[in-house]
Structure 1
Amino acid sequence: MSASVHDVIVIGGGINGVGIARDCALRGIKTLLVEKHDFAKGASGNNTGMIHGGIRYMRYDVGTTRSSCRDSGYIQRIAGHLLHRVPFLFPVLKNDLGGSFLLEGAEIFFEAYDRFQPLKNGKKHTRLSKEEALFLEPGLSDQILGAVTLDEWAIDSYRLVVENAVDAQLAGATVRNYCEFTRFLRTRTHRIAGIELFDHVTQRTEHHEAQWVINATGAWGAELSTQTQTPYRLRPSKGVHIVYPHRISNYGLIMRAIDGRQMFFLPHDHATWIGTTDDDYYGNLDSLPILEDEIRYLIESARSIFPSIDQYTPDHAYAGVRPTLYEWGRNEDELSREHLIIDHDNGVLSIAGGKLASYRELSEEVTNLLAQRLDIKTPCETHTRPLPGFHPRPSTEEVCLCENISKEQLEYSITHELVQHLSDLRGRCHLGQGACGGAHCARRAAQIFAEAKGLSGQSQREELERFHQLCSLERKPALIANNRAREELRHMLS
């Protein structure tokens, strides 16, 4: 049983956890970050992939909109290589409640949102006639009255998490994935003085001491807080997205779902994402089911504004659980996306709530508090220091044609980006996320992985099987009816 001593231990390898670890390390705070799965396993890697203000939050949570827009501007400065601008259309249908009044109201609403656009280098809205909207996107329903434009930013959220983790390590933090928190270590006065963890790679139990422990485990946070003297509650909300392996439109669409909720139709690189659902979830956070009803709900909702959606076949689906703050008597999509920092008064701070778009600001707030208590004067620099990323070299071999992944890119990730399993490359490089689902590239990638890690032939086969199992978990829910037989055949041939 090994032991080490740190100033701060951060539990949770999502965006808030890695953001806090990075900020702490850059200020000279001796930091340990642990994550029981791979990084971005939860909502941080399973979201709509946008650094945006959240126009719907303006109705009841303007502070979240403002902070998200402000932090979006900083994230563009430090992670511009992970971002791309997405022009959105907000079409209004004739049969929408309010009809032409809704179109007028939408323009007034977006005029208010325009005030925040300079914070994130966004463009102001424009109102379009029916003819202008259909000229830009002929796939829209001919039942629209018109549309309003909106400017937002999309991001590779998985790589945002990984690059924060890598930079934390470069700054001196100890960063470990596949290490699971099991219990707190306590002094005789019951103050928490560290953690016990189980390393799933070495199969060993370890003890690590620290002055402060940060619970940044997202939707898992409420359960972990039961080991403190002041547990808190969350109202977890499950969100499902479906992914089409090609661009259906060059424009993002803001649309109303069947039940009136807001949904997105989003171009991401070469793919199209549709989502999200928003339902209370109290099940197993480590194994999220994706129901056929949820897939049909998303497709049916998209059909009203984009009738030709049935011509396309979704490739896979994914789900995440938002760590939304607990409230009684409100619909899921009305819950606040604000964050809370909970001081348990015994050496533990918990992070509840929050959004991807404002992770850096949240991390700075937490680290400021820690620095004050540790008497550290070093200022924050996470808003100016660029994140590290892959620097392309001449390619000697193209491993995945769907995602344009080279042998050199895989080798870089395996060597520099805390990769423990072949399946970790699904997020690092999007391996197996394209149309082939790994059928054309996984075997060669497994060879490259095994060579870099010095694995035996048996271990290589086990890694390959693990990779295909995880790919199938995402692909099967999206393949409705007879398409499932095709997926089984693809899996057999790979």
Structure 2
Amino acid sequence: MQFDLIVIGGGVNGCGIARDAAMRGLKTVLIEKNDFGSGTTGASSQMIHGGARYLISDVETTRLSSLDSGYIQKIAPHLLFRIPFLFPVMAKPGRSGRAQKIYLEFLETYFEAYDKFSPLKNGKPHTRLNKEEALALEPDLSENLIGAVTFDEWGIDSFRLCLGNVASAAEHGAEIHNHTEVTEILKEGGRVVGVKVRHLLDGARSELRAKIVFNAAGPWVPKIAELAGCEVKLRPAKGVHLVIDRRIVNYAIAANAIDGRSIFIMPYQNTTIIGTTDDDYFGDPDAIPILEDEIEYLLDGIEQVFPRVRQARIIHAWAGVRPTLFKRGPYEDDLSREHEIFDHETAEHTPGFLSIAGGKLASYRLMSEEAVDAVCRKLGVSSPCRTHQVPLPGGERILNPEDLAKEYGVPLFAANRLVYRHGARAMRILEMVRERAAQGNVICQCEPVLECELRYAVRHEWARSPGDLRRRTRYSIGPCQGTRCSMMGAQILGEELNWSPEEVFRQLRSFEEKSWHGRAPILDNVSVQEEELAAFTFCNVGNVDQWN
């Protein structure tokens, strides 16, 4: 089949490019090796932020990120939530009281400059707080506090952001393939004309042809470029985050790590996130280790401003690789977050092939617009971008969760979470409860997640594994880490996909093995006991270990 555009990579940039291209009338196909958002996007800090940290060295990135944050709020109002930040100032040995006051004045001046971008991202202006005011907001801050400055950013579920873009692309005619690996770039007379792919779920192979192939594979961009005989140099940066089982802070709190880098602890949905490291990484982006030193680095930094952090229960850690543009010399944290579109026809005489790298989550929509602008110029298409005007699926209107809970007889908390993830489409999902009342059952108690949402993810959102369900619904991601719900979710998946009992158990074992990667690095005495209890549940109750 002949397409106008093949997009390789189902992170937020690839999904955004596919949506924009399909909305402009291009015959588009999106290919993702794993699942949508399963790489760099899902391992991000889950914020659509203006980039206060780039204000001195990269003002344009701050401006563009703030501008696009405002657009994203308009097209996906259900999916974003305000995160108020505290930037505490601590008394330091050897620093005089006068020097501390000067530093606080400097900090306020800094955020006065950041306030200029607040209207673009619907932010609130900063506020200066004395010690008593800051402790009233966050009582567990360190007693060494002398004052604080507030600012705000926006949180998001990056997996749902990807799915919204994918769903929109499909509704505008795009063809969608996850769990599909590009094995070869096809060339004729030096021109890239398509790809060969392998469908990982069944092993089938096929060939797709297009006028343009766009490489948006994140940290895998150099590998895909190499398949086309081209080169894209990156300086990949590894970032690690920790997840605490509940909210232990009222506000996000900025802190400095031992090397002076900015890190944070913030409330996120039903949990708390600590992040992030930023280190050069030249290993395999498919197998990123999480080291004990990285966990200690984050805890030590947060402990300086929030001393009781070590009393909290860490349930999970994740690691991702940022596809940062290459530059030799700067410290990792000083690398630009700008993006670049590589036209391989101009640079390497390989027409029909483009790549994109760099950037950040908050500027995905703008990056996608620029990418499709480049494609349209090559194809002679003049259709304008409309992705900043047309809501993502579910963003058309905001539903009242209380009304839905009463109408469909489901728990209010579950209805609330469903509306957050799906917006106006929550009603479409809850209609499944009318067909069969059991579809209103709560499968994951921690989040919570209803049976109808899991089935909807399989039928309408390309979910083909327990990990896919987790990314779409947060099923099995809470304090029990799937001990109570993994088996039920796998069984529902099996029913929807007509799996044999053997395949259900095989998928469940694979899911648990992959989940272990995020739990093993954070185990301590208590969590080891919890792992043993979970293993007993799966093996002695579910007999998961008896299936090969």
User: 2:127 aligned with 1:122, yes or no?
Assistant: no
Instruction: Give the alignment partner of residue 459 of structure 1, picking from 491, 497, 503.
Output: 503
In the TM superposition, what is the alpha-carbon distance from 1:229 to its structure 2 partner? 4.6
Match of 1:243 in 2: 243
Q: Partner residue of 1:352? A: 357
Amino acid across the alignment from 1:197:
V
Residue 369 of structure 2 aligns with which residue? 364
Gaps of 5+ in 2: 346-350, 394-421, 434-438, 539-548
Task: Report if aligned partners of 2:464, 2:493 keep a CA contact under 8 Å in 1.
Answer: no
Whichever structure has more helix as a proportion of its residues is 2
Q: Which has the higher contact order (CA 8 A, sep 6+)?
A: 1
Does the CA-based 8 Å contact 1:229-1:344 persist in structure 2?
A: no
Q: Any idea what SS the aligned residue of 1:39 has?
A: coil
SS in 2 for 1:32: strand
Whether contact under 8 Å (1:423, 1:463) holds in the other structure is no
Q: CA deviation at 1:484?
A: 2.6
Match of 2:384 among 363, 379, 387: 379
CA-CA distance at 1:482 after TM superposition: 5.2
Q: Distance in 2 between matches of 1:461 and 1:236?
A: 36
- In 1, are the aligned partners of 2:137 and 2:250 still within 8 Å (CA)? no
Q: Deviations over 1:456-482 (max 9, x none)?
A: 111111111122222222122122355
Q: Is the 8 A contact 2:87 2:150 kept in 1?
A: yes
Counterpart mapping for 1:403-418 below 5 A: 403-418=447-462
* Residue 421 (str. 1) matches residue 465 (str. 2): yes
**What CA deviation, in whole Å up to 9, does each residue of 1:88-120 have, x standing for no partner?**
100011118763332111101000000000001
Question: Structure 2 counterpart of 1:414, which letter?
Answer: V
Kindly indicate whether the alpha-carbon contact (under 8 Å) linking 2:253 and 2:266 is maintained by their aligned counterparts in 1. yes
Cα distance in 1, alignment partners of residues 386 and 66 from structure 2: 19
Once the 2 structures are TM-superposed, how far is the Cα of residue 372 of structure 1 from its aligned partner?
2.1
Cα contact 1:476–1:487 (8 A) shared by 2: no
Residue number among 66, 70, 90 corresponding to 1:69 in the alignment: 66
Tell me, what secondary structure is at the counterpart of 2:391? coil
Residue number in structure 1 paired with 2:533:
489
* Cα displacement (A) at 1:455: 1.1
Give the conservation status (yes or no) of the 8 Å contact 1:228–1:344: no
**Residue among 29, 35, 40 paired with 2:32:** 35
Match status 1:254 vs 2:259: no
1:67-146 correspondence to structure 2 within 5 Å: 67-95=64-92, 99-146=100-147
User: Counterpart of 1:243 in 2: which secondary structure?
Assistant: strand
Report matched runs for 1:206-245 at 5 Å: 206-245=206-245
CA distance in 1, matches of 2:187, 2:114: 48
Q: So what's the TM-score if we normalise by structure 2?
A: 0.87
CA distance in 2, matches of 1:299, 1:112: 30
Q: CA deviation at 1:33?
A: 0.7
State whether structure 2 residue 289 is matched by structure 1 residue 289.
yes
Q: Answer yes or no: is 1:336 the counterpart of 2:336.
A: yes
1:56-107 superposed Cα distances (whole Å, 9 cap, x missing partner): 1112111111000000000001111111101110001111876333211110
Once residues 280 and 100 of structure 1 are traced to their aligned partners in structure 2, the CA distance between those partners, rounded to angstroms, is 36
Moved over 6 A (4+): none
CA distance in 2, matches of 1:197, 1:321: 24
| Alpha-carbon shift at residue 237 of structure 1 (Å) | 0.3
Q: Once the two structures are superposed, what CA deviation does each residue of 1:311-353 show, in whole Å capped at 9, x if it has no partner?
A: 1110100011000111111111110000000000021110010
Q: Hey, what does 2:426 align to over in structure 1?
A: 391
CA distance in 2, matches of 1:460, 1:226: 37
**Is the CA contact 2:448–2:475 (under 8 Å) kept in the aligned structure 1?**
no
Q: Percent identity?
A: 47
Q: Call closer, same or farther: CA 1:482–1:271 in 2, change over 3 Å.
A: closer
Q: Distance in 1 between matches of 2:196 and 2:35?
A: 19
Q: 1:16 corresponds to which letter in structure 2?
A: N
Counterparts in 2 of 1:468-487, with a 5 A limit?
468-481=512-525, 483-487=527-531
Hey, what does 1:51 align to over in structure 2?
A: 48
Alpha-carbon distance in structure 2 between the residues aligned to 1:268 and 1:89: 15
Contact in 2 for aligned 1:44/1:157 (Cα 8 Å) = yes
